[in-house]
Amino acid sequence: MPVRVLIVDDSGFFRHRISDLLSGDSRIEVVGTAQNGKEAVEQAKKLRPSLITMDVEMPQMNGIEAVGIIMRECPTNILMLSSLTSEGARVTLQALEAGALDYLPKDMRAWMAHSGSLEKQLRDKVVALGRSTHARLRGTFTDQSSLAQANKSRVFSAEALSTSKATSTASTPGRVSSTDPQRLPATGGLRKPSERSLSNIKIPDCKVVVIGASTGGPAALQQILTQIPANFPHPILLVQHMPKAFTTVFAARLNQQCNIEVKEAEDGDKLIPGRALLAPGGHQMIIDPRSTDKIRIMPGDERLTYKPSVDVTYASVAKSFGKKVLAVILTGMGADGCDGAGILRQQGATIWAQNQDSCTIYGMPKAIINAGLADAVLDLNELTSIFSGKRS
């Protein structure tokens, strides 16, 4: 079935432009439009679309208010369209916290230029998000404790997942399959997993923790980082696919919410326990090869799709710290991080991937899991519990 889309924008130009771009894709069906948030709520209830593209600033009811009402009354996957400004970033992050899944920059010049890359990006996001069950699952429950219970943490062996299509190997309540950290040198695979309690999954002895994410990442990172205690003993590097204006605002927002320090990374910043450095949009973040207690911020290479790129940062920490790395890959479209995870794996680093059920988009974790590179596959709630140091 095609993804059924409701387009919400007070601009007639953007309503028609988005409709034209989407209508040429057989995977998508535009089922309606709305000119403000009030109409959006009414149309969402009436049409029950798979996805809503939502403008931010509109008369009568803005996009953030509309997102909040829709997520309470008729949960629907929502893609925000917002300007590439600090204010646009701020309100978009509020919309993501209210329940929207992702966003696209609303740059008039790009939308008027008949850009093939923009068209592909829009269509691919609409299809991927429209087929996601994440928002609908959230809306099934009235409180976070119910959702946490429904998303009860699970861990699977990467080897079992790659051969049995993510079926659980748990045999008794409260016990799950994890992985023996010892690797097979000939194949790079994992030894047969042994049964052990979730309480035995711990952050390994490492020099740095590196977390990569894309679609759905802001909410996932917020959930994990806000639970990390101020005395966390490791430095953290964060690579979230975002433009520059957004990473600046996102880092500042997280810093207000977290016990640890969170800042947008700058060239020469030091790796300090209890500090998280967020790669700035449009740039790459690597370890300084001359002084491994510092990071370098490099210009984004036009040959690379992602700026920042998880692959680039993963490869850099692998070169600098070898096996003393914990790499975590969270929800996101595409396969960024998979090549870098392969380099980390060769060095003996520990790699964790978010599981399918708790991902907004099961792309980046899936690539690493299918390549047999993940030491453990964990639910977002379990990842949060591990990093918080509190186990239920």
Which residues are catalytic, by number? 214, 241, 336
**How many residues are present in the chain?**
392
Rg (CA), the chain: 21
Q: Which residues contact 285 (CB under 8 A, 6 or more apart)?
A: 237, 239, 265, 277, 279, 295, 296, 297, 298, 308, 312, 313, 316
Annotate 234-253 with DSSP letters as a single string.
S-EEEEE---HHHHHHHHHH
Task: Specify whether the CB–CB gap between 317 and 287 falls below 8 A.
Answer: yes
Phi, psi of 283 (to 5 degrees): -130, 175
Ramachandran angles phi, psi of 111, nearest 5°: -70, -25
Alpha carbon distance 139, 168 (integer Å): 25
Q: CA 336, CA 73: separation in Å to the nearest integer?
A: 35
How many Å apart are CA 106 and CA 55, to the nearest integer? 9
- Residue 30 DSSP SS3: strand
Query: Which residue in the block uniquely carries the two structure tokens 């599981």?
Result: 355
Residue 282 φ/ψ region, left for φ over 0, alpha for ψ in the -120 to 50 degree band, beta for the rest: left
Please answer whether residues 331 and 365 qualify as being in contact, where contact means their C-beta atoms are separated by less than 8 angstroms: yes
Q: What type of residue sits at position 347?
A: Q
Contact 392, 381 (CB under 8 A): no
